[in-house]
Structure 1
Amino acid sequence: MMCLRLQAHEQTIGVIHLTRVPLAQRATISALAPQIALPLAVLHLQSELEYLSFHDANTGIYNRRFLDEMLERAIASAERKNHQLPEGEPPATVGVIFMDVDHFKQFNSEFGHEAGDTVLRTLGSLLTDITRAGEDVAAATAAKNLC
């Protein structure tokens, strides 16, 4: 039996556990562990970067960049479906609901940014809970960025 620590950049990222390894192959397998660890670390970092590029850091819900991409895809999909509709069928549509948190700037000023962040996280959780998985998207965007 062999247990090999996968380490990249002085951080353990996993363990390989092998059973019934012949003695003659143990040195070779031990030498492969660092070769496996680095690509796994890179994949993990890429995954983190992708998550951060499409999620709001405070609320954890999707951000404006993701919303823009999803809207573009949803509209294109609806247009494709509408070109293939039989006569008399209702058209495919895309719905967007925008919500404004009234007086949020005043709330933030009065109660502090930590309380404001808590409100936004709670609202993000609520929106995530009420959306239909795989169908709806909850996203956060600052009002000043909207056109």
Structure 2
Amino acid sequence: MVHKTKETNYRKYPEYYRIARGEQGVFNVEPYKSELLPHWRFKNREATQASADKIHELFQEYKEADDFVGMDMARKYLQMGYTRSRRYANYPGGKKYAEDGSINERHTDEEKAGAAQIFQEKLDEVKSDPTYQERKKEHQKTYG
């Protein structure tokens, strides 16, 4: 029996993967982290569009391979793209909190807000995909 460790290959052992809330696991679940992270960018709209398109393309590849863990990890990277670009859109440098613990004043960076919208559109596509929804239910039923 294989034990779950930092080096666990979740493609080989999908039974160890748990669908966590939000973006949990994006930096730990291999080999997906190594496949998705290099494409995750939100510097500007052009970079974001290329990033979201590539991550969505990988989602489609995982879907064709009937690889739910890959599909869910692609969803998480799109979600993380949305949340991070929203944070940077609202707060200069992405810093919500000041050193004294108070919340910094919100400003809107239209470039980052546009990036967030790009990720949101791809995220909505993925989350509403019937195959994704079906595989998610199966994974939860089978593995918890």
TM-score, normalized by length of structure 1? 0.24
> Which is richer in helix?
2
Pair member with larger Rg = 1
